[in-house]
Every structure is written in C-alpha cells, then in structure tokens.
Amino acid sequence: MDLTSEDVGSCCVAEIMGTELYTLTPDTVVASAKRLARENGIEHLLVLDNGTLTGIVCGEDLRSAARDALVGECMSSPVLCVGPDTTLQDAVEIMAENDIGCLPVVTGAFLVGMITMEALTSAGLTEDEPVAAEKCVACATTAGVRRDPRAGCLPLCTDCLGRTAALDPLAD
C-alpha cells in the first residue's frame, strides 16, 4: 500500500525519530563537541545537566563559537520538545514556525529520541505553501524573525530577541 503525503503527515514522530542520541554537558569544550559531531556525521547535539535536558547545539552554533569556549555558552535553551505521539505534520509546522532543524522527543522527563527536518524531508513531508514572512512585533522587520519560547513565542527578530533576553531577570 502506498502512503500519500497526507497519510505520512498523520503518522507519529515515534515512527521515524532517531533513538541514537549524542549528548554533552554544558562544560564540554566546543572543540570536543565539534569532533563528536564530525566523527559521527551529526548536526545536533543535546546538552544534559545532571541528566536533565538543558540545551541543544547545532553545527552552526559550534562553527560560530570559539574552540576553547564551553558548550553552555553557545547552546540554545530552553529546548522546544515534542512527545512521541506528535504527528509528523505538527512537527514540520513547529520546526518551521520556530526556524529549527530538530525536536527532541520526550516522554515525561525522559528523553526518548529526536526528530530532524532531514528525517521529515526523507519521509516526503514538505510544506505545500510557502510560509508568509512574519513581522517582528517590536520593530516590524521581517528579517530573522522567529517565535522563541523565552519570549512567550511572540514573533521577534534576533536583535529584539537579544534585547528581550538581556532584560529578562531570569536570564543568565
């Protein structure tokens, strides 16, 4: 039986998620993280602190960081996650809305896998219509706008998001 794109989109991420996960700690040196990613041909590394998912780093984060910096300095946090029952289509939409390339999959407090945009593309899922460029609610630009959980998922450009994070008393 052939599955249509619609059928595939209604499948759950648990059906195609990767379960071989590569993890680091926030105090891992960036040079070691780069080596781990390169040797294993992976783009996303999960950051665990005392067994709790606290961040994620991608190849771009590592390329722009100093070799002797710590992963905790360049990781993205908090981490947007989904459950194993999330549909593949929902995962595509979440990634597109947040301009991210992967989503860790958790069951309760347990990390059980990761779904990547590459896996979703391989499954034949693509957006049918281009997403209209969102405007930053603070300055109205359309460049670099994303919905970040740290800002209540409001559409903000990277400049305004940086200003918001600097004003956040909880931000380190």
3-state helix, strand, coil in the chain (%, to 5): 35, 25, 40
The whole-angstrom separation of Cα 90 and Cα 94 is 6
**Span 5-122 CATH architecture:** Roll (3.10)
User: Model pTM greater than 0.75?
Assistant: no
Structural domain boundaries of the chain? 5-122, 132-172
**Planar angle of CA 47, 123, 19, nearest 5 degrees:** 30
pLDDT number for residue 171: 44
List the structure tokens of 85: 């029952």
pLDDT number for residue 168: 46
Helix (H) or strand (E) segment spanning residue 94: helix 88-98
pLDDT number for residue 91: 92
Low-confidence ranges of the chain (pLDDT < 70): 1-10, 126-134, 147-153, 163-172
pLDDT number for residue 170: 46
CB 76 within 8 A of CB 57: yes
The whole-angstrom separation of Cα 23 and Cα 30 is 13
